[in-house]
Amino acid sequence: MQDNLIFGADASSYRASEPLPSWQRQLSQAIRDPAELCRRLQLPDTWQVGASAGHALFETCVPEAFLRRIKPNQPDDPLLRQVLPLGDETLQTPGYVNDPLDEVQQRPARGVIHKYAGRVLLIASPNCAINCRYCFRRHFPYADNSPSRAQWQEAFDYLQADPSIREVILSGGDPLAANDRHLAWLVTQLEQIPHLKRLRIHSRLPIVIPDRVDQALLDWLEASRLQTVMVLHANHANEIDQAVRAACQRLQGAGVTLLNQSVLLRGVNDSTEALAALSEQLFDAGVLPYYLHVLDPVQGAAHFNVPDAEARQLITTLRDELPGFLMPRLVREIPGEASKTPLV
């Protein structure tokens, strides 16, 4: 197989003789022009200058399936805030950096990030189905961390040599932006390492394009000997519609445990009402809230920050309203720490 077939995140990387899966077609048709995004959502022209400036730093990507959940002519829509580039992204904010988690220092092999005992993260795809403006990897050097099939051997050797590693986390980008042929191959290689027990997949794709959860994906998930956990990423209740609920049901049918991680974001979910509604909607979809991350200080995203004191107060109030199993853990990731740091 040629290397350019491995990630398969866009139409050009699929074999011409094969019909393109629906999700890949949708991804290839995603809105990538900030002016078009503004037009489609009937935003006043004044938004276009900032959108272009932000886009120049981190390009726009919004698939139709996500766009449909955004209310037109509402610049404050909580889903729009996550994807609309803004002029604020050009501001240099002290303390905000390109690699807030110091991940570039934690790469023992190409495509591998090893931060915590017992688990290792693989950059299974450099691509995403959506570009979230607050993303802590918005400056990540994916070009240096996208192994070809032959280059993956270095990662497998690393995993094989360390029997303390029980769990592999497929990350990215979004690992499910890779095509299923590649993912099935990757997981088959991992299954041959006897001390690996669990496969964790961090993906926003079942939320963004629910059709990503198709039979080809379910086939390799069901076939794996590894216990599989999928950590989804939704930040607001409006992201969870009937199509997302159906996708979650299909994943559960394949034996996948579903969790969700969110980021606490100014203007998106910085109220107890928004956080409670998100937990309720997740549970209705069969997903347990797992983490609520405070913003990682990545350059270009400071306008999303919610101060720690306010974040703690939100969680304290939320605890009075929700049962314990609907409470996400409020955490910060601090480079060099042995695990995520709880804030309350």
- Write out the binding residues: 128, 132, 135
Q: How many Cβ atoms are within 10 Å of 164's Cβ, its own excluded?
A: 9
In the DSSP assignment, the letter for residue 53 is H
Closest CA to 159 of 126, 181, 184, 192: 192
State which of residues 173, 206, 210, 289 lies at the interface with ligand SF4 (CB under 6 A).
Answer: 173
Closest CA to 240 of 274, 202, 215, 267: 274
Cβ-based nearer residue to ligand SF4, 196 or 204: 204
Smallest separation, CB 138 to ligand SF4 (Å): 7
State which of residues 55, 81, 115, 137 lies at the interface with ligand SF4 (CB under 6 A).
Answer: 137
Beta strands in 208-328 (DSSP E): 227-232, 257-263, 288-293
Work out whether 204 is an interface residue with ligand SF4 (CB under 6 A). yes
Cβ-based nearer residue to ligand SF4, 125 or 272: 125
Q: State which of positions 226-245 bind ligand SF4 (CB under 6 A).
A: 233
Q: What is the largest CA-CA distance in the chain?
A: 58
Smallest separation, CB 246 to ligand SF4 (Å): 21
Cβ-based nearer residue to ligand SF4, 124 or 165: 124
Cβ-based nearer residue to ligand SF4, 63 or 173: 173
State which of residues 130, 159, 234, 248 lies at the interface with ligand SF4 (CB under 6 A).
Answer: 130
Work out whether 65 is an interface residue with ligand SF4 (CB under 6 A). no
**For residue 206, which amino acid is it?**
P
In the annotated binding site for [4Fe-4S] cluster, the residues are 128, 132, 135
CA distance 161 to 155: 10
Query: Whats the size of the chain, residue-wise?
Result: 344
